[in-house]
Amino acid sequence: MISSVSVPRASAVGIGVCKTFMLLHLQHEEKRNLTLGGHVGFDSLPDQLVSKSVTQGFCFNILCVGETGIGKSTLMNTLFNTTFENEEASHYQDGVYLRPRTYDLQESNVHLKLTIVDTVGFGDQINKEESYKPIVDYIDTQFENYLQEELKIKRSLYNYHDTRIHICLYFIAPTGHSLKSLDLVTMKKLDSKVNVIPIIAKADTISKSELHKFKIKIMSELVSNGVQIYQFPTDDDTVAEINSSMNALLPFAVVGSIEEVKVGNKMVRARQYPWGVVQVENESHCDFVKLREMLLRVNMEDLREQTHARHYELYRRCKLEEMGFKDTDPDSQPFSLQETYEAKRKEFLGDLQRKEEEMRQMFVNKVKETEAELKEKERELHEKFEQLKRMHQEEKRKVEEKRRDLEEEMNAFNRKKVATETLQAQSLQGLQQSLRKDKDRKNRSVKTENQSGAALSSSKVMIARASVEPLNCDSWWQAMQCCTCLIQSAVWKKGSL
């Protein structure tokens, strides 16, 4: 078999032309068709690709967004004909969170690393305004992880576990009414980040005519709200026909079940009700087969490609632009990475310098403020100290005055004491003399009882005078002058004298 190939005409450029020059020319030269003289072998390239891909394995990531208990897990089990981990969510979650689970599946010799991400608590909160956020954040995080891997100097994308979401199945409740605002808002937020396929869950709970109207209503609401759902590609001739017919049937109405029910003489997956059996794989009962066909058998690779070429590309572009990278400068000239880096570095250093200056200024102002505050406090303390000093001096002066007064008083007292003692000594002398005279008189004459009592009284006075302490007066001198004291003194009262 003779194959035709395109080779650049520039390959005929004469000997002696340097390699670089040749390469430059190669880019601009026309290509011409040549025929091969025999079998060369590069027609095995697609087979090589298939073999390499099969060895490497594939990965596919599904995000199931839908209210709690709407049938997400059951549908995944039905879709992959197995039983994945299933943990029922409660209706009392504070917010929405995502639960990713990865499985290794094998069909024939093809390995599939499947990640199923479930929303937990979606639609259970009273305020649902922020319900879409965790989902958007999750999708962005997977893009960011991939971008970081791509930007590494030593990339290992070959082994990299790509967790970017390839398809988002949005579960719509089979109300037969219209879409809820939560559905519209969430799908709108997701449509630029992921391939969204809306599906009507638990389609066995809605009648055929209602379902038909419901589908039309959903599609018109999506269009009027500008929600762009994933369209099965029609540019590949081999699948164009089936894909365009399936696009017209969106959103698919699905039924999920892993129960096997006997229908005729065959066991089929179905849901059995008292009035009959809903067969999951019966196309007149629901669109499950169509969904499986479109999702896994016809368009799986397109979903992966769209994720990389459209959604991730958009994320990457925005992110790089955010980081200051551009393809062209303002004069529409190609912008080199080096220049961008230099410009960004300069901008960053300028920013840093400005911030440093601002911080320094702030620091200086703060120091000045603190210094002023400290000075004020010092002044106040000084004033207080002066005041205390004045008070202390005043106090000292008063104490000094008091001391002087007391000293004077003590001197006066001492003087009085000396005078009293002198007087006391004199009166004692007098008393002794009179006692002696009394004694003489006693001896000489007999006296009446009254007279001797008087003598006793006078001796009482004398002896009381000798005992200073019991008297209420401060000194003998005072006691002498104050008869009350003398009379009230215990010595007198006791009558022991």
- Separation of alpha carbons 293 and 296, rounded Å: 6
Q: Binding residue for ligand GTP (CB under 6 A) from 13, 29, 69, 185?
A: 69
Residue 167 beta carbon to Mg ion: minimum distance, rounded to whole angstroms: 17
Nearer to ligand GTP, 69 or 100 (CB): 69
Enumerate residues 252-271 that contact ligand GTP by CB under 6 A.
255-256, 271
**For 349, what's the count of Cα atoms within 13 Å in the CB-facing half-sphere?**
5
The candidate with the shortest Cα–Cα distance to 288, out of 74, 57, 21, is 74
131 binds ligand GTP per the rule CB under 6 A: no
CA–CA separation, 485 and 359 (whole Å): 89
Backbone angles phi, psi at 294, to 5 degrees: -70, -40
> In the complex with ligand GTP, which residue's Cβ is closer, 89 or 250?
89
Return the range that interacts with Mg ion (CB under 5 A); candidates 73-81, 92-100, 232-240, 408-416. 73-81
92 in Cβ contact with 101 (< 8 Å): no
Task: Say whether residue 73 binds Mg ion (CB under 5 A).
Answer: yes
Q: Which is nearer to ligand GTP, 74 or 306 (CB)?
A: 74
Q: Name the phi and psi angles at 270, rounded to 5.
A: -160, 170
Token pair listed for 9: 């005409």
Residue 78 lies near Mg ion (rule: CB under 5 A)? no
State which residue, 166 or 202, has the beta carbon closest to ligand GTP: 202
Say how far apart CA 335 and CA 321 lie, in whole Å: 12
Which partner, ligand GTP, Mg ion, none, binds residue 237 by CB below 5 to 8 Å per kind?
Answer: none
Q: How far is the CB of 69 from Mg ion (least distance, A)?
A: 8
Residue 200 found at the interface with ligand GTP (CB under 6 A)? no
Backbone angles phi, psi at 426, to 5 degrees: -65, -45
Asked if 117 touches ligand GTP (CB under 6 A), the answer is no
- Closer to ligand GTP at the Cβ: 246 or 286? 286
- Which of residues 10 and 197 has its CB atom nearest to ligand GTP in the complex? 197
In this structure, what token pair is assigned to residue 43?
């027609």
Two tokens at 101?
């689970």
Compute the least distance from the CB of residue 122 to ligand GTP, in Å: 8
Q: Is 307 in the site for Mg ion (CB under 5 A)?
A: no
Stretch that binds Mg ion, among 71-79, 190-198, 287-295, 453-461 (CB under 5 A): 71-79
Residue 70 interacting with ligand GTP (CB under 6 A): yes
186 is a contact residue toward Mg ion (CB under 5 A): no
Query: Least distance from C-beta 279 to ligand GTP, angstroms?
Result: 12
Instruction: Find the Cα–Cα–Cα–Cα dihedral 176, 181, 185, 188, rounded to 10°.
Output: 40
Q: In whole angstroms, what is the distance from residue 320 CA to residue 349 CA?
A: 19
d(CA 253, CA 289): 10
Nearest 5°: phi and psi at 436?
-60, -40
The structure tokens 């100097």 sit at: 153
For the chain, state the CA radius of gyration: 57
Check residue 205 for interaction with ligand GTP (CB under 6 A).
yes
Q: Is 85 exposed, middle or buried (0-12, 13-18, 19+ CB in 10 A)?
A: exposed
191 contact choice in Mg ion, ligand GTP, none (CB below 5 to 8 Å, kind-dependent) = none
Which residues bind to ligand GTP, rule: CB under 6 A?
A: 66, 68-74, 88-89, 118, 202, 204-205, 255-256, 271
Which residues bind to Mg ion, rule: CB under 5 A?
A: 72-73
